Structures are given as structure tokens and as C-alpha cells.
Structure 1
Amino acid sequence: MLRRSFLGGISAASASPFLPARPALAQAEHQRTLRFVPQADVTVLDPLTTSAYVTRNHALLVFDQLYGIDGDLKPQPQMVEGHTVEDDGRRWTFRLRDGLKFHDGEPVRGRDCVASIRRWAPRDNLGQLLMARTDAIEATDDRSFTIRLNRPYRLMLETLSKLGPPALLILPERLAVLDPKQQLPEVVGSGPFRFNARERIVGARVVYDRNPDYRPRESGEVSGVAGPKRVHFDRVVWTTMPDPSTAAAALKNNEVDWWENPINDLLPTLQSDRRILTPLSGRLGTMGTGVMNHLHPPFDKPAVRRVLLEALSQEDFMTAINGTDPDLIRTGVGLFAPGTAMASEVGLDALTRPRDIERSRQDLIAAGYKGERVVLLAAGDSPRLAAMGDVMNDLLKRLGMDVQHAVSDWGTMVTRRANKAAPDQGGWNIFCTDWSDFDMMNPVVEQVLRCGGVQTGFFGWPDLPRIEALRGAWLEAPDEDGRKAIARDLQTLAMQEVPYLPLGQYLSRTAYRDDLQDVVKNLSVFWNVRRAS
């Protein structure tokens, strides 16, 4: 039976004249429950063991953060009441808000924060940078902890507010000390909702109950994931739909309240219904990237990488993903997310000048391409990644390359991209992926800009010392003007050495019924939102 028919059957049954009590019960349940269609099922519950954004969104309901990123991308105190900085920036002491409590009833203590930071840090680039500068992290009492540094670290608050996967979230010490390579045996946080394990149906349904012990911040503006997290629903129910058409029908029929990521083809249908709103998800979007393997020909040669950079059209990639609506695609995009502090147009001539494929074919041969087979990985089960893969496949073939378009599911592609072997021995040459703008804001959070070779480089393992040196200089810059200058130099250098291919930016719309109000912009979070009476 189709889910659409099933949901329709539920609606019909609840309206049955033979069951007079049910409409009132259904109405009360409707008022207390927020019904949400996520981008995908939450297959992994531990936010440290996956980079999936749907798991991060799940974790933001259940766990809380020391600091939250506001709508202006600035860190604001969340679990922390305040902090002090002493010893010329080498001693930071943090004090927790009073009354914080985990879902198991235990208070949140300084040692829980210490253990959570230690569990998270080795798995995150910012965390690794922090630990490299840290002599000790220790709880000073139940409500305080201290980080003692061997040299100042100017990104302390940005690190403790890390939101892109893996986000820094606070767990009970008893869970945080477990092997971080293993998933958590239970989901216990201190956030505004509790994970309802009994009602979870893998592949179909995830349920969260309001945490009655949660104490929101008493002051501040609700912005991004910062400010008071006031909950107005007793339950949030995530329902995974079998296909987009079913999700659209459920939203139009008032069987769900909110669809996180409606596909563009169905937006006109939704927008024709005056009871449905389809705003942009926020001012930040998603950036596409082409990741090349620097270990093997032909992309071990900088000149070959530059030819591909100069031949690509960001508009082709973004249109394939998101259509022609000018409000939903941006081109002329460099290393950093448009609208963020480090973004600039410096050095982007190679991306913005007119294309000449015939000239690029000749340049490719002159750059050293010798007809090698190019293995292009693609995730066929992700429409947007598949679309980028199709455009890349077409581009490489038009340039005269011998392409093997290896389409698989996302899981298989993720496994294969870790293989450093030659392409004809199970390795690969190139793949496309995308990143939330939260992960593309500066040189140290941007994973595809890690160019430390096989030791610390991102997949593709670029070994580009000059880029690594600029990333290090950016981290040590004394102020934002200095960081902006280094970011411009870095972008100019990247257009020459080409660690990866910037493919543009796309924005998304979300869709919800008009009786929801005060929906927080930029992310799918479930505090502040309420149902109009």
C-alpha cells in the first residue's frame, strides 16, 4: 500500500461519524504534535560517527551546545553562563548555567563537558587545532571547567560552537568516555527534546518528546541555534516518505506540517496552495565541489587540474541541481561561502571568463593528459550528487577524456573514495559532493581545503605546502582584517594549484503549512516554532 493511501485512510477514519470521540482527540494531538518530513531517515543516531546533516539535525533536538552560532554566524553562550580569559589568552575558564540536567536526571557537570570535548576533538579539524595548543582540560568544580593552552588560540569560541558535522555536543561523562569509533549505546543529552527509542521505526519514523526538565536561557534573541530554546510542542514526529510526490501530497492534505527539502519540480504545486509557505531555508546555502585524486594521473598534475577548472561552468552544475530560478543558484563562487566574512571575488577570473572547450581540449594535451582512463565516482541515490556527476561526466568527455562513470549508492561511494590505490585497482580519480555553507566559511573548517597529503589531507590527498602554510597563517592572524587578507591570498593561490573544483552554490526552500509561526531560519530546529491558535 502506498503511504499516501495509508495516510489518507487515517484521515478518513479519524473523521468517521461512527467514532465521535476521535475528532476531538485527533485535534488535541494535532495541536501538541509537530509532524515533520526530514531529508532522509536518521540511520545513524550518534552525531560523532557520521557527517550526515540529518543526524546533526536529530542531535540538535536531543543534545545541547556550550555556545550556539547565531544568524550572523557569531558564537553566543548557550549552556555556558560566561567565561573568563587570563594569562595572556592561555587560560580559559567556563561556567555552566544553573539547573542544566541530562535526560537521565543527572546534572550537567564540568567533567561531562571535559569528556565530551575530548571525545569530539580528534574527529574534527577545529578540535584537533585546539588540542594541539592545549596543555590541559580539567573540571574545576561541578559547574566549571578550564582549558589551559600552551599558546593563545583565537578561535576558541568558534571551536566550542562548532555546528557543521561533527558538531560539538555535550554528553554525560559515562557515555563520552566510551570508544568514539563506536556508536553510542543510548541517546541521552540535555537538550530540549528526549529521543523516544520505543517509537522509532527504522526507515519510517523517529519521535522526540519535549524535555520537561529543560531550562531555556532567560535572555537573548532566538537566532540560528543561539538564544532561548523554548518548546511549544509536546512531540515532534519525523516521518520518512517513500518519494517526493507522497511528501507533497501529505503536506497539502494536512497530514504533515513541514517538509524540510521539497524538490524544485514540486515547488509550483506547493506554491499554488495558499495554505503552504515555501520560504528560503536561510541566507546560507550549499556549495558544490569537485574532488580530484592528486595521487594518480591525470589530476596529479596541477596544469591538468587548472584546465578542468577553466573549462567548467558553475552555472551548468548549479542549474542541473536546482533549476534556473536565479534566487536559488549563485555562480562566480570561490572557496568560501558567499555572504560570509572570508568570501571575495579575488582571483576568480578562471571561473568567470568565457569558456572555450576546443581550446581546453588542446590545453589538456599540452598539460600532460595522455589518454588515461578517468574513474568518476557518483552517488546515484542522491539526486543532487547524481546531477553533478552527470554534468562532470559530460564535461570530461567533451574535453576528450576516457571516462568510466562509476555510479553506485552513497555508501559504496564513501567506501571507495577512501581507497588510495590506482584507479584500475579499485581506486578513483574524481567525484562531486556538496557542503553546507557552515562547513565552507573559513580555511580551517573547510575540509576540502586540507592539503597535507596522505597524512592529513582530505580524500584525494592533495600535498600543497603553500596552501597549508596560508591556512596556518590564517589561524594565527591577529584580527579579522588580517584573516581576510590571507583568505584572499589563499583563494588566488588555490586558483593556480587547484586543490579542488568550486562548482557554485545553491539555495533551498523549505515548505510548511501556514499555521506554523516563528520558524527559526537557516536550520531545521524545533524550538521557538508554534502553531497559531
Structure 2
Amino acid sequence: MQLSRFTAALLLSAAAFLPLAASAQSQPASNRVLRVAPHADLKTLDPVAASIVITRMHGLMIYETLFAWDSNLQPKPQMVESFETSPDKLTWTFKLRPGLKFHDGQPVTTKDVIASLARWMKRDTIGGKLAEYTDGMEAVDDATFRLKLKRPMALVPFALGSAVGQIPVIMRESDAKSDPMKPITETIGSGPFKFNREDWRSGSKVVYDRNPDYVPRSEPADGLAGGRVVKVDRVEWLIMPDAATAAAALQTGEIDIWEQPSQDLIPVISTNEQVKVDRYANLANQAMLRPNHLHPPFDNPKARLALAYATDQADFLSAGFGDEEWWKRCASYFICGGPNGTEAGAESYAKPNLDKARELLKESGYKGEKLVLSTSNDIAPIGRMAEVAAASLRKVGFNIDLQVADWGTVTTRQQNKGTSEQGGWNLFVTTASGATMQSPLTNIGTNMACERAWSGWPCDAEAEKLRGAFIDAPDEAGRKLALDALHKRLAEVQPYRVLGQYDQPYARRTNVAGVLAAPVMLFWNIEKK
């Protein structure tokens, strides 16, 4: 691929700028410091209050969960040393492993665990489903607690190890007892890294130091599971929203990892012998167009169906992710190529039908009111796909007001349930990992439990009934029947428009090793040679 003059100029100018920036920030040169250009700036510090990837990455740095998914998304004990279930499968007893303590020196106890799980259950898709099964939790002693169920649920360890949506991290009891609808600003966990608040510079740098008191598990690292052995002293996230700047920094060695390189620059950085481009997730990611179900016109399913008929996945994916090597059409809410990748009921939305979209939009009662599509250019693919959404929807009669802000502002706004005049929103484009979207239990967008659903708050009792049938199914055959029925219902009510799926590569210097296959990028097990 030939480099455009414009891109080349950007790279040259960025390379010229970087030594000055590095000098101004007095960046240490030790090989014990891992410097990373993440995909976005960190704004929200509470991984139970926000499901966005950058906050989840932050949460996994400083907190731990009771279980953890391995590279095959199978749950393994993490904070838990041992567990057992009663013969009737209604009581689960868990014992914490020794040596767990928070960064402030306090020991982790079951009081912290119970308060943390209760808070998580009020916010998360998986947590909300587990809450429906839960009859209560009780501490036996400081290291042992019981989870009592109303009916059996075999997926309890899977849920407690979730690495998607709002993750079930264990906080101090005092933090966990705060209002679950208000993000906490404390950052005291028990994980392998400590958040360095003193060196944090919003919009510029986020810093984590190795936790010298952390005791990892003895098993080898495997995905999120196993021993979280930290092999560097410090991890710095250097915020570089300009792709050319990040590309130049990687090539000169001023950063070690570019978490989400821009696809149009991959051919450029790949020519550098000191740079390696690779994938770190086993499943493709999903792009989506999310409507707000609380307010007209998208409280009417006909308006949401109009979104499906008005949009062509290829337009979005090529704008967001470039060459088709990195993306594919897929109408499955649960990821084509994954264990639940059915497209049942969604066949008619494979290609756009603009006349059908206009007809449905008229039937929905929409009369041309302004609709806010909130987005950001901080994450370039999302910004570009939002522009495609605005252009596509205007063609069939939607009056789209494309409002661009920084990503932190966009994600904060997503929590606002008011109308657009009250600071709310009508539409946004986003992406989610394959691990998040591959199952009815984990898919944040297909949770249609009304006020307990993710931003957009879709509400459909039939879809929730069918989702429950999948979770309750006793065997694979039963889950397959429930899955197809659920997917057909979702295609009818459109909790969001599936925009297809893509592979997200990362890029690293060749002296960096140990990046693990996981739903998000992890920073333990990595070393600089």
C-alpha cells in the first residue's frame, strides 16, 4: 500500500515533535517501564459504573475478581482458593485464598466481597441475571462466604469471572456500599498494579506502579486466569489521539505498544523491522449503532427496524477498519464464528432497503424531530462510522444532529436518561469485544431488562424470557433451540443495529514479549528484553 503525501507529512511532523514532548515529560528510559498508547483517555475510574473498554482495562490493572476467564473464556479460580456446591445446587460456598490485601494494607474479607457483588449485580448485564437467581449472600467468616440461589445456575463461576461489561471487581466494603449509579473516584484495589494518582495527567498520561505486596497465583498465566506476574516496575499510558503521532512514537521506540493502531497506518508501521503487528483476541469484535429506547422515535420498534433497512454494514466497516482483510459482514448479535453465531431472523437486513426504511419510519410516527447522534473522533473508527450513520440515516428522512465531543464526555452522556434537550442522546456508534457479545448471558446490548439494561435501556419481556430459557437450558441441544428463538425475537425488536464485525490488531516493539490472549489488553506477564 502506498503512503499518501498527507499521511507521510503527518508522520514526519509527528516524529519531529516527539523528542520535545518526551523531554518535556521527563520520561524515564529504563527497560522496566512499559509505555503504551491506549485507544482512549481514562475518564471514569469505576469499572462497575462504566462498561467502556478503557475503564475495564484500568479496573483489571488495580482490582481482582473471584474467578477469571482463561484464553478460551473458561472460568478459573482467581481470588477464590476453593469452592463447593450443595447436592441440590442451590448453595455455593467459596473460600478466599490467603494473602489478599488492598493497596492501603487492609486485608480483603468476605464483607468486601459481598458488598462488591451486591453493587455489581445492580449495574451489569451478567450481574443482573445472576441477581435474578440469587436468594442471598452471607459471610461464614472473614475468608468464607455462601451464595444461595432460588434455582440452580451452572454458570455462576463464569459470571463471577466476567471480563466484559461492568466487571465484578472486589472493592473495599466502604467503596462498594456507595451508590451504584454514581461512579466512585477511589482507586484502592488488591490487584497487581497500583494507580499512581500523583503522576496522572488527564488527557496526557495515566500511570500504574507494580504492587510489591501482591501475591500471584502459582498457575501459569492464561488469558485473565493464572498467575498475574508483573515483570515491569511501571506502566504508562501515553494519550495519543493522533494516529500519526502514535505511529511515529512506536517506530522510534518512544512507546512500546500501540494498543489499537489505525488500520490505514498498519502497512506503514509493518515495514519497520522493530515493529510487530498481531491480534490479541480470539474472537472478532462487533460494531453497533445503539438507539435510545426511552424516547421517540426509537421507543417504537418500527423506527429501530428502519435503522436496519437504512444501513449497509460494508459502508460502516470499510470506513472504520479499512481493508476487508480486517472485517466481515455478520448479522448475528452473538458473533459469527463464535459458539452462538446464529443469524436466525436477521436475513432480510443483510442489504439495505431504503424504501422499506422510509415506510417504517413514517409508520413509527416520526415527524422529522432533531435526533442527536453523539460521537467522538478520539477513537477514529467510531468517529468515522458515526459520520456514515449520519449520512445513511439522513437519506431515509432522519433529521440527524451529529455532535462530536471527547470520548470521556460521550460515554458520560450515554448514562443520561433525559431527552436530547436535557443533555441526553438518541443514537451512538460503538464497538464491543467478541468475548462480550458472543453469548446471551454476556451480550450487553441484547439485555432488554428495561431500567436494568445497558445505555439505551431496551425493554422487551419476550426477549428476556427467551434469554432466560437459554441460561436455564439443561444441555447443548436445549440451548441451541432457545438461541434461535431468542435471535429471531431480537431481529424483530432490534435492541441495536448490528454493523458487522472486525479484528482489532495491536502493534508492539519486537523487544516486547508476553502479551496474553484476552478480551482486553493486559499488562502483567509482559516484559521488555
Name the TM-score class by shorter chain. 0.7 to 0.9
For residue 531 of structure 1, what is the aligned residue in structure 2?
A: 528
Equivalent of 1:8 in 14, 19, 22: 19
Instruction: Give distance in 2, aligned partners of 1:273 and 1:110.
Output: 51
Instruction: Give distance in 2, aligned partners of 1:150 and 1:361.
Output: 44
Q: Does 1:481 align with 2:477?
A: yes
Indicate how the Cα distance of structure 1 residues 295 and 149 shifts in structure 2: closer, same or farther if over 3 A, else same.
Answer: closer
Instruction: Give distance in 2, aligned partners of 1:468 and 1:298.
Output: 22
Partner deviation per Cα, 1:257-288 (whole Å, 9 max, x = no partner):
11111111221221110110010232234312
Query: What is the SS of the residue equivalent to 1:31?
Result: coil
For residue 390 of structure 1, what is the aligned residue in structure 2?
A: 387
Instruction: Give distance in 1, aligned partners of 2:225 and 2:270.
Output: 30
Equivalent of 1:379 in 375, 381, 388: 375
For residue 207 of structure 1, what is the aligned residue in structure 2?
A: 207
Instruction: Give distance in 2, aligned partners of 1:191 and 1:386.
Output: 33
Contact preservation (8 Å) 1:330, 1:505 = yes
Q: Mean Cα displacement is larger for which, 368-377 or 68-77?
A: 368-377
Q: Does 1:309 align with 2:308?
A: yes
Query: What is the SS of the residue equivalent to 1:198?
Result: coil
Q: Does 1:449 align with 2:446?
A: yes
Gaps of 5+ in 2: 1-12
Query: What is the SS of the residue equivalent to 2:480?
Result: helix
For residue 158 of structure 2, what is the aligned residue in structure 1?
A: 158
Q: Mean Cα displacement is larger for which, 411-420 or 204-213?
A: 411-420
Q: Does 1:440 align with 2:451?
A: no
Q: CA deviation at 1:506?
A: 1.8
Q: CA deviation at 1:521?
A: 2.1
Instruction: Give distance in 1, aligned partners of 2:357 and 2:178.
Output: 53
Q: Does 1:405 align with 2:416?
A: no
For residue 235 of structure 1, what is the aligned residue in structure 2?
A: 234
1:514 aligned partner, one-letter code: T
Note the aligned Cα RMSD (angstroms): 3.0
Q: CA deviation at 1:213?
A: 2.0
Contact preservation (8 Å) 1:222, 1:228 = yes
Q: CA deviation at 1:153?
A: 2.3
For residue 489 of structure 2, what is the aligned residue in structure 1?
A: 493
For residue 512 of structure 1, what is the aligned residue in structure 2?
A: 508
2:31 aligned partner, one-letter code: Q
- For 1:216-295, list aligned pairs within 5 A: 216-219=216-219, 221-241=220-240, 243-294=242-293
For residue 9 of structure 2, what is the aligned residue in structure 1?
A: none
For residue 100 of structure 1, what is the aligned residue in structure 2?
A: 100
2:349 aligned partner, one-letter code: L
Contact preservation (8 Å) 1:336, 1:441 = yes
Instruction: Give distance in 2, aligned partners of 1:61 and 1:456.
Output: 27
Percent of aligned pairs with the same amino acid: 35
Instruction: Give distance in 1, aligned partners of 2:295 and 2:196.
Output: 48
Instruction: Give distance in 2, aligned partners of 1:393 and 1:486.
Output: 35
Q: CA deviation at 1:71?
A: 1.3
1:339 aligned partner, one-letter code: G
Partner deviation per Cα, 1:487-513 (whole Å, 9 max, x = no partner):
111112222332321111122111110
Contact preservation (8 Å) 2:373, 2:390 = no
TM-score with structure 1 setting the length: 0.87
Instruction: Give distance in 2, aligned partners of 1:368 and 1:141.
Output: 56
1:324 aligned partner, one-letter code: D
Contact preservation (8 Å) 1:378, 1:413 = no
Q: CA deviation at 1:392?
A: 1.9
Number of residues of Structure 1 aligned to a counterpart in Structure 2: 513
Instruction: Give distance in 2, aligned partners of 1:183 and 1:297.
Output: 28
Q: Does 1:125 align with 2:122?
A: no
Q: Does 1:329 align with 2:319?
A: no
Q: CA deviation at 1:425?
A: 8.0
Contact preservation (8 Å) 1:82, 1:96 = yes
Contact preservation (8 Å) 2:33, 2:235 = yes
For residue 173 of structure 1, what is the aligned residue in structure 2?
A: 173
Contact preservation (8 Å) 1:297, 1:372 = no
Q: CA deviation at 1:72?
A: 1.0
Q: CA deviation at 1:452?
A: 4.1
1:37 aligned partner, one-letter code: A
Instruction: Give distance in 2, aligned partners of 1:77 and 1:350.
Output: 43
Contact preservation (8 Å) 1:293, 1:461 = yes
For residue 460 of structure 2, what is the aligned residue in structure 1?
A: 464
Contact preservation (8 Å) 1:332, 1:348 = no
Gaps of 5+ in 1: 14-21
Q: CA deviation at 1:48?
A: 2.2
Indicate how the Cα distance of structure 1 residues 369 and 86 shifts in structure 2: closer, same or farther if over 3 A, else same.
Answer: same
Indicate how the Cα distance of structure 1 residues 383 and 124 shifts in structure 2: closer, same or farther if over 3 A, else same.
Answer: same
Q: CA deviation at 1:362?
A: 6.6
Contact preservation (8 Å) 2:331, 2:347 = no
Q: CA deviation at 1:429?
A: 4.5
- For 1:341-360, list aligned pairs within 5 A: 341-352=339-350, 354-357=351-354, 359-360=355-356
Instruction: Give distance in 1, aligned partners of 2:361 and 2:186.
Output: 56
Instruction: Give distance in 1, aligned partners of 2:307 and 2:200.
Output: 46
For residue 19 of structure 1, what is the aligned residue in structure 2?
A: none
Indicate how the Cα distance of structure 1 residues 119 and 355 shifts in structure 2: closer, same or farther if over 3 A, else same.
Answer: closer
Instruction: Give distance in 1, aligned partners of 2:235 and 2:500.
Output: 34
Contact preservation (8 Å) 1:451, 1:499 = yes
Q: Mean Cα displacement is larger for which, 111-120 or 274-283?
A: 111-120
Instruction: Give distance in 2, aligned partners of 1:121 and 1:370.
Output: 36
Instruction: Give distance in 2, aligned partners of 1:9 and 1:277.
Output: 26
Contact preservation (8 Å) 2:280, 2:516 = no
Contact preservation (8 Å) 1:376, 1:393 = no
Instruction: Give distance in 2, aligned partners of 1:387 and 1:12.
Output: 33
1:45 aligned partner, one-letter code: L
Indicate how the Cα distance of structure 1 residues 113 and 428 shifts in structure 2: closer, same or farther if over 3 A, else same.
Answer: closer
Indicate how the Cα distance of structure 1 residues 412 and 247 shifts in structure 2: closer, same or farther if over 3 A, else same.
Answer: closer
Q: CA deviation at 1:420?
A: 5.0
2:481 aligned partner, one-letter code: A
Partner deviation per Cα, 1:200-256 (whole Å, 9 max, x = no partner):
22222222222222222112x422211111121122122212522222111111111
Contact preservation (8 Å) 1:329, 1:505 = yes
Q: Which has the larger radius of gyration?
A: 1
Query: What is the SS of the residue equivalent to 2:30?
Result: helix
Instruction: Give distance in 2, aligned partners of 1:193 and 1:323.
Output: 35
Contact preservation (8 Å) 2:123, 2:452 = no
1:278 aligned partner, one-letter code: V
Instruction: Give distance in 1, aligned partners of 2:261 and 2:113.
Output: 37
